[in-house]
């Protein structure tokens, strides 16, 4: 990991105000910000660990625990709520065996909820990575995940 971090950090050498973009790049490349990565970033930028952790904990986009290879986002917006979004979340939790904010032990899936996916016309909805799934009902959840496993 040290060699990978060195390659990621190199383009930011000598750049002021690089903390947030650097954290974003490391997370994009490694999937999350490990303790080792944060330590290397603090040394590289010559900033205190508390400064880095302050930024990590301020912005919701940063993860300090590994995320699943597939991120499932269940919509909790008004249209989805009115059309049974809570049942969709419950069905996804049963299907994956995890609760909102958790990751499956095999790191295959992370489950999140979002305020709105922006696909209200096909509510209730969820996304798996960048793929939107709409007009859902609890029965269709198993089908969606079965197809996802078949497609790889």
Q: What is the pTM of this model?
A: 0.74
Residue 21 lies in a domain: yes
Residue 133 lies in a domain: yes
Residue 34, helix vs strand vs coil: coil
In the chain, how many domains are there? 2
Backbone angles phi, psi at 112, to 5 degrees: -130, 160
Residue 63 lies in a domain: no
pLDDT in tens, 56-78: 999 988 999 898 999 999 999 99
User: Given this model, what pLDDT does residue 31 score?
Assistant: 85
Quote the tokens at residue 44. 């590289």
User: Given this model, what pLDDT does residue 120 score?
Assistant: 97
Residue 131, helix vs strand vs coil: strand
Tell me the average pLDDT across 85-100: 97
Q: What is the CATH number of the domain that holds 118?
A: 3.40.30.10
Q: Are residues 33 and 91 in the same domain?
A: no
Lowest mean pLDDT among 12-26, 66-80, 82-96, 117-131: 12-26
Contact 25, 45 (CB under 8 A): no
Quote the tokens at residue 35. 């303790």
Tell me the average pLDDT across 83-106: 97
From residue 140, alpha-carbon distances to 52, 67, 72, 87, 133 in Å are 42, 25, 15, 11, 10
């Amino acid at each position: 990991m040290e060699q990978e971090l060195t390659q990621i950090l190199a383009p930011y050498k000598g750049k002021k105000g690089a903390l947030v973009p650097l954290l974003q790049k490391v997370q994009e490349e490694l999937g999350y910000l490990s303790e080792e990565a944060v330590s290397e970033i603090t040394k590289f930028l010559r900033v205190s660990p508390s400064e880095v952790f302050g930024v990590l904990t301020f912005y919701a986009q940063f993860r300090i625990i590994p995320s699943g290879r597939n991120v499932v986002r269940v919509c909790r917006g008004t249209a989805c709520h009115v059309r049974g979004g809570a049942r969709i979340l419950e069905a996804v939790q049963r299907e994956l065996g995890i609760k909102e904010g958790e990751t499956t032990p095999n790191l295959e899936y992370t489950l999140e909820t979002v305020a709105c996916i922006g696909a209200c016309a096909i509510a209730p909805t969820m996304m798996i990575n960048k793929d939107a799934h709409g007009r859902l009902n609890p029965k269709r959840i198993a089908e969606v995940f079965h197809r996802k496993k078949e497609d790889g």
